[in-house]
Structure 1
Amino acid sequence: MEKNENKIIVAITRPFNRIDEAVSIVESHGATPFIAPTLELKLSNTESLKALVELVNDLDWLVFTSPTSIESIFNFYPDFREKVNENCQIATIGHKTEEVAAQYGLTTDLIPEDYTAEGLLKAFKNINIKNSLIGIPRTLAARDTLPEGLEKMGADVILAESYESIIPLDTVRIEVLIGKILSSEIDAITFTSPLTAENLFKIATEEQIPELVNKLSKNVLTVSIGPITYKTLKNLGVESIYPKKYTVKDMMELMFENL
């Protein structure tokens, strides 16, 4: 890979409210972050979320798949902690989500070794959840792997839309990023979810896509946070790498090891 003559430039596609850790790591390595979020997280107090909150006292499990799912609930229902019954157990996908849960007074009972829906389902196989009522606040853009897997284990699942995952209304930064990739001004790029990758290609024009795929595969070090995002990029024609542990920190460390 040809590096720029000056500082290494790393593109970060995470939402604006999730970039601090990645930016800090990039700068600590003496590189320059180019911030171009391809995803925006919009908190939503939907009817399904209201229904989940009303039923929270009856839940056996609450499953949080991201920090945003927790932040949304407490944004609209500050007294949510008091509503959760003492027998309701909490599962989080990843320690970052666990940390946010703890900030709001929620104690996590289950974290999978593998920070994916598949990993959580594997962890639940050791627990009898037959006839359990499980609430999952999340974005409806998420895969159905988790709720379907829990239902196959005999649980009753309540899905609640707590936030929307949308393309930013202002796409100028994304358009500039595409231009920089095509003109070989980006050394590495990180993707932390399937949508961060998919949205980049939705903004690119049909004429740009073939060369974008080529550049991301051959000229840019493309790094995914985990296997699900890796698979999405693969389906788009882009080769990438991902760490053994699916965290931002491990993703960034792997990236700098390979630059």
Structure 2
Amino acid sequence: MSDDADRPGDDSGPRVAVFRPDDERIDEAVDLLASLGARPVPDPMLAVEPTGAVPGDAAAFVVFTSKTGVELAAAAGWEPGDATLVAIGPSTAAAAREAGWTVDLVPEEYTSAGLVAALRGRVDGERVEVARSDHGSSVLLDGLRDAGAAVTETVLYRLTRPADAGDSADLAAAGDLDALAFTSSLTVEHFLAAADERGIRGAALAGANDAVVGAIGPPTAETAADLGMDVDVVPDAADFEALAEAVVAAVEGLPAGSDAPAAAEDGGD
């Protein structure tokens, strides 16, 4: 984890742990939290390991479920050709457009279930390729197959936990965090796995529940709740800016965007 002592932010602001990958995403998250008056505690819980695979060229539909997947495929020189390109949400779609691709469909609900609902009735008898990480939900594959599609999954990258992750678990166990901002189910799982390795899972969980727990969307919130966390904040928009604003507002006792399930989750990190 990067030391937050030299990070920007209000020294009197709330300490907010953030778990995005250790690349431009953690830097952007830190800068955003600092601009909101928080003291960011960066603790990257995800490392991206590309597999080198790219989608095939025989599918009628190609579905991307994250910005990371789009960027890896684009960097490898892949092009959608005549395939109908589907992106799970705005961040993924924006990355695809930045790569010069035409995005044909973004579902109204940015979840696997939302993708299935958007494609049902269009994919019967068609070949659909799903390009994503090794931690993708079976909901998407099963739903598309139920809709009559011939589905192929391409694993573009693996998501692992960095060996040095977990300082935030120590801080949570000591009661030194005001909030935790989780950006995917896997960040929740890795946070608790790191606490387990340090022998402080119970204390870290108690410390998290004494703080504000924010989740970027319903799938992340459901995972956190299943693992014993009391989720306080799920923003209306499934992006990190909305999550950060809602978490800081909740710590400060201000009205947040929403504390009810959000519309969806845009693939997380």
- Please state which band the TM-score falls in when normalised by the shorter chain: 0.7 to 0.9
Is residue 92–residue 108 contact of structure 1 (8 Å, CA) maintained in 2?
yes
How far residue 244 of structure 1 moved from its aligned partner, in angstroms, is: 2.2
State the match for 1:223 in structure 2.
Answer: 214
Count of residues in Structure 1 that have an aligned counterpart in Structure 2: 239
State the match for 1:8 in structure 2.
Answer: 14
Give the TM-score, by structure 2 length: 0.83
Long gaps (5+) in structure 1: none
2:119 pairs with 1:124: yes
1:212-251 matches, within 5 Å, as: 212-217=204-209, 219-240=210-231, 241-251=233-243
SS at match of 1:145: helix
Which one of 148, 155, 161 corresponds to residue 161 of structure 1?
155
Is residue 208–residue 229 contact of structure 2 (8 Å, CA) maintained in 1?
yes
2:136 pairs with 1:142: yes
Please tell me the residue identity of whatever aligns with 2:173.
L
How far residue 177 of structure 1 moved from its aligned partner, in angstroms, is: 1.3
Higher relative contact order (CA 8 A, sep 6+): 1
Task: Summarize deviations over 1:178-225 as a string: whole Å, max 9, x none.
Answer: 1111122211111111110101111113741122222211x2111000
State the match for 2:94 in structure 1.
Answer: 99
Tell me, in whole angstroms, the C-alpha distance in 2 between the residues paired with 1:20 and 1:6.
21
Give the TM-score, by structure 1 length: 0.87
Please tell me the residue identity of whatever aligns with 1:148.
D
Is residue 11–residue 39 contact of structure 2 (8 Å, CA) maintained in 1?
no
RMSD: 1.8
Long gaps (5+) in structure 2: 1-9, 252-269
Tell me, in whole angstroms, the C-alpha distance in 1 between the residues paired with 2:117 and 2:31.
33
Runs of 4+ in 1 over 4 A off after TM superposition: none
Tell me, in whole angstroms, the C-alpha distance in 2 between the residues paired with 1:60 and 1:165.
27
How far residue 20 of structure 1 moved from its aligned partner, in angstroms, is: 3.7
2:108 pairs with 1:113: yes
Please tell me the residue identity of whatever aligns with 2:139.
T
SS at match of 1:216: helix
2:70 pairs with 1:27: no
